[in-house]
Structure 1
Amino acid sequence: MIAPLRTLALTCAVAVALTACKKQEQQTPPPPEVGVIEAKAETLPLQRELVGRLSPFRSADVRARVPGVLLKRVYQEGQDVKQGQVLFLIDPAPLQASLNSSQGQLASAQATYVNAKAAADRARSLAPQAFVSKSDVDAAEAAERSAAAAVTQAQAAVTSAKINLGYAEVTSPISGRAGKQQVTEGALVGQGDVTLLTTVDQLDPLYVNFSMSSDEMTQLRRAQAQGSVALSGDGKSTVQVRLADGTVYGEPGTLDYSSATVDPATGAVTLRAVLPNPQQLLLPGSFVSFQAVLGERKNAFLVPLQSLQRDTVGGYVMVVGKDGKVVRKNVTTEGQQGANWLVTGGIEPGDQVIVAGVQKVKEGAPAKAAPWNPAAANGNGQAPAAGAPAGAAPAAAPADAAADPAKADGQATEGAPAAEPTKQ
Structure 2
Amino acid sequence: MVRLTAPVLACALLASCGSSDDQAGQAGQGQGQGGAPVPVGVVTVKQANVPLITDLAGRTSAYESSEVRPQVSGVIRKRLFTQGSIVRAGQTLYRIDPAPYEADVQQAQANLQSAQATLKAAKVKADRYEPLAKMQAISQQDYTDAQAQANEAAASVAQAKAALRTAKINLNRTTVPAPITGRIGRSVATVGALVTENQSDALTTIQRLDPIYVDIRQSSGDILALRRALGKGDTVASKANVRLTLEDGEDYGRVGTVDFAEPTVDESTGTVTLRATFPNPEGLLLPGMYVTAHIAQAIQRDAILVPQQGVTRDPKGNATVLVVGDGNKVVSRSVKAPRTQGAYWVVTSGLNPGDKVIVQGTAKVRPGQPVKPVPADTPQKLTTGTKGAGGGGNSSAGAGS
Shorter-chain TM-score range? 0.7 to 0.9
Query: What SS does structure 2 have at the residue aligned with 1:254?
Result: strand
More deviation in 171-180 or 340-349?
340-349
Give the letter for the 2:219 counterpart: S
- Taking a change above 3 Å as real, the CA distance of residues 414 and 277 of structure 1, as seen in their structure-2 partners, is same
Residue 215 of structure 1 pairs with residue 209 of structure 2: no
Equivalent residue for 1:253?
256
Task: After TM superposition, give the deviation of residue 239 of structure 1 in Å.
Answer: 1.8
Equivalent residue for 1:303?
306
Query: What SS does structure 1 have at the residue aligned with 2:264?
Result: coil
Equivalent residue for 1:85?
91
- Taking a change above 3 Å as real, the CA distance of residues 360 and 93 of structure 1, as seen in their structure-2 partners, is same
Equivalent residue for 2:135?
129
Distance in 1 separating the partners of 2:143 and 2:369: 118
Residue 352 of structure 1 pairs with residue 356 of structure 2: yes
Identity, % of aligned pairs? 41
Equivalent residue for 1:388?
382
Instruction: Check whether the contact 2:41–2:376 (CA below 8 A) recurs between aligned residues.
Output: no
Equivalent residue for 1:262?
265
Task: After TM superposition, give the deviation of residue 58 of structure 1 in Å.
Answer: 0.6
Equivalent residue for 1:343?
347
Question: Structure 1, residues 274-310: CA drift from partner, whole Å, max 9, x if none?
Answer: 1111122222222223432223221111110112222
Distance in 2 separating the partners of 1:102 and 1:138: 30
Residue 76 of structure 1 pairs with residue 78 of structure 2: no
Distance in 2 separating the partners of 1:351 and 1:135: 110
Distance in 1 separating the partners of 2:163 and 2:247: 57
- Taking a change above 3 Å as real, the CA distance of residues 375 and 349 of structure 1, as seen in their structure-2 partners, is closer
Task: After TM superposition, give the deviation of residue 387 of structure 1 in Å.
Answer: 5.2
Distance in 1 separating the partners of 2:150 and 2:318: 92
Q: Residues 116-265 of structure 1: matches in 2 within 5 Å? A: 116-190=122-196, 193-232=199-238, 236-243=239-246, 246-265=249-268
* Number of equivalenced pairs: 362
Instruction: Check whether the contact 2:65–2:206 (CA below 8 A) recurs between aligned residues.
Output: yes
- Taking a change above 3 Å as real, the CA distance of residues 152 and 28 of structure 1, as seen in their structure-2 partners, is same
Query: What SS does structure 2 have at the residue aligned with 1:388?
Result: strand
- Taking a change above 3 Å as real, the CA distance of residues 190 and 306 of structure 1, as seen in their structure-2 partners, is same
Instruction: Check whether the contact 1:47–1:291 (CA below 8 A) recurs between aligned residues.
Output: yes
Gaps of 5+ in 2: 1-15, 32-36, 384-388, 394-401
Question: Structure 1, residues 217-246: CA drift from partner, whole Å, max 9, x if none?
Answer: 1222333344433344xxx32222344555
Equivalent residue for 1:29?
29
Give the letter for the 1:190 counterpart: T
Question: Structure 1, residues 329-360: CA drift from partner, whole Å, max 9, x if none?
Answer: 131423x3331122334433334333234445
Equivalent residue for 1:105?
111
CA RMSD of the aligned region, Å? 3.1
Instruction: Check whether the contact 1:51–1:288 (CA below 8 A) recurs between aligned residues.
Output: yes
Give the letter for the 1:388 counterpart: L
Query: What SS does structure 2 have at the residue aligned with 1:295?
Result: strand
Residue 328 of structure 1 pairs with residue 333 of structure 2: yes
TM-score, normalised by the number of residues in structure 2: 0.80
Task: After TM superposition, give the deviation of residue 131 of structure 1 in Å.
Answer: 3.3
Given candidates 293, 296, 299, the residue that maps to 2:296 is 293
Give the letter for the 2:44 counterpart: E
Distance in 2 separating the partners of 1:61 and 1:123: 60
- Taking a change above 3 Å as real, the CA distance of residues 315 and 63 of structure 1, as seen in their structure-2 partners, is farther
- Taking a change above 3 Å as real, the CA distance of residues 325 and 306 of structure 1, as seen in their structure-2 partners, is closer
Query: What SS does structure 2 have at the residue aligned with 1:151?
Result: helix
Distance in 1 separating the partners of 2:220 and 2:350: 26
Question: Structure 1, residues 359-382: CA drift from partner, whole Å, max 9, x if none?
Answer: 4555xx414355454425xxxxxx
Query: What SS does structure 1 have at the residue aligned with 2:114?
Result: helix
Gaps of 5+ in 1: 1-15, 377-383, 390-412, 418-424
Task: After TM superposition, give the deviation of residue 66 of structure 1 in Å.
Answer: 0.4
Equivalent residue for 1:397?
none
Query: What SS does structure 1 have at the residue aligned with 2:260?
Result: strand
Question: Structure 1, residues 90-131: CA drift from partner, whole Å, max 9, x if none?
Answer: 111111111111222222222222222223333334343333
Distance in 2 separating the partners of 1:222 and 1:276: 32
Given candidates 44, 49, 56, the residue that maps to 2:55 is 49
Task: After TM superposition, give the deviation of residue 319 of structure 1 in Å.
Answer: 4.2
Task: After TM superposition, give the deviation of residue 316 of structure 1 in Å.
Answer: 1.0
